[in-house]
Each structure stands twice: as C-alpha cells, then as structure tokens.
Amino acid sequence: MSLSSNNIDDLLRNNQSDHNLIIEAMVEQYRSSLYHLALSILNDPSEAEDATQDAFINAALHLDRYSPGTNIKAWLYSITVNICRGYLRKQHTRKNLGMLLITLHLVTATPAVDPEQSALHNEYAINLWAAVSRLSVKHQLVVVLRIVHELPVSEIAYIMNTNEKTIYTRLYTAFRKIRTQLRSSTDSE
C-alpha cells in the first residue's frame, strides 16, 4: 500500500477513514525522511529513531490539527524538529550536532582526484562545519534544514513556526558568523 500525500489528504477529508490506515500511510511515506532529519539534528541513531517514533505518535495524537490540502511533509517536519529541540535541551547534544555535520559533509562531499586537493577540501569542510557547530541552535537548525536537507525557506519557516523574513535573517546571520569564523581561522594559520 503506497499512498501519496494527496491520498493521505483525501483519507483525512473523509471522516469515515480508518485512523490506523492514515497513520500507517504516513509512516510508510515519511519515516525515512523524518529519521534522516532527526539524525542530522541529534547525531545519535538511537535518539533519532526515538524522535522519529515520537513524531509519529505526536502526529497521530494531533491529527485533527493538520489541515488537509496543506503541506503534510512540512507539518511532520515541524513536529520532528520540535521533538528534536526537546532532545537537544534535555541532553545537551549541541556539540555532537557539529560533529555530525562535519561527518555528513565529508561523507556526501564529492571526492577530489588529487590527494592534496582532497586533504585541503577535508580541512576546509572540517573548519566549515566546526563553525556551524559554534552557532546557536536556532541558527544551526536553519543551516541544516536549508543546506543539508535543501528545504525552501517557506518550508523552514513553517517547520520553525516563524515567518520567512525571520528565516532569511537567521540564515544571513548564520552565514555572516560562519564567514567571520572561517576568515579568523585562516588568518591565524
């Protein structure tokens, strides 16, 4: 059974639909992306799995708060981000997020042909993601959602429960701080 988000919306509009079928369809369609999102924030596979499960439980309990026809993926991302924020607050894993960003970037980066160029690229990537890890959590999250998950600003605003202008401001501030940190690290070498 593979349902699209439109089919999920149709099931939600139909008051006779089986609640379990709707939840099952959401889990089938979005489990992987929610897990990846949670993992990119929490840097712990076990916590990411727990956060993903918590997100679906929360979605199931509050399904009446979702308006069919809007963006169900963004709604689920919003729930997941909020749950991950709670995990971050409780367990102070902010430092681990930075290390995951470094690892994620190194794993997904296109390898250079020249070993010297590859080493320079890896050093730059480490410095870049170390700079990201020194940002506040609200700035880290917008960078992760925009750069790693390639989400549009409109979806990030929805997920973060704020307006687009605030997201643009946070991105601008984050990139300015990263640029300053990278300049100071290359000047000190």
**Per-residue model confidence as pLDDT tens digits over 132-183:** 888 888 898 898 888 888 889 999 999 888 999 999 999 999 989 988 888 8
Mean pLDDT of all residues belonging to the chain:
80
Task: Give CATH for domain 94-189.
Answer: 1.10.10.10
What is the C-alpha to C-alpha distance for residues 151 and 84, in angstroms, rounded to an integer? 17
φ, ψ (nearest 5 deg) of residue 112:
-80, 150
Q: What is the pLDDT of residue 85?
A: 86
Q: What is the pLDDT of residue 1?
A: 45
**Per-residue model confidence as pLDDT tens digits over 32-43:** 999 999 999 888
φ, ψ (nearest 5 deg) of residue 37:
-60, -50
Q: Is the pLDDT of residue 111 over 80?
A: no
List the chain domain ranges: 1-92, 94-189
CATH of the structural domain 1-92, one choice from 1.10.1740.10, 1.10.620.20, 3.40.1280.10, 3.20.20.60? 1.10.1740.10
1-92 and 94-189: identical CATH topology:
no
Q: What is the pLDDT of residue 8?
A: 77
Chain centroid offset of residue 68 CA = 23
What is the C-alpha to C-alpha distance for residues 63 and 56, in angstroms, rounded to an integer? 10
Q: What is the pLDDT of residue 123?
A: 75
Q: Is the pLDDT of residue 31 over 80?
A: yes
What tokens appear for 7 in the block? Answer: 């089919």
Instruction: Give pTM, 2 decimals.
Output: 0.60
**Phi/psi-derived region of residue 4, left when phi > 0, alpha when psi is between -120 and 50, beta in every other case:** beta
- Residue 99 — very low, low, confident or very high, per pLDDT cuts 50/70/90? low
DSSP 104-172: HHHHHSPPPSSHHHHHHHHHHHHHHHHHHHTS-HHHHHHHIIIIIS---HHHHHHHTTS-HHHHHHHHH
Q: Is the pLDDT of residue 54 over 90?
A: yes
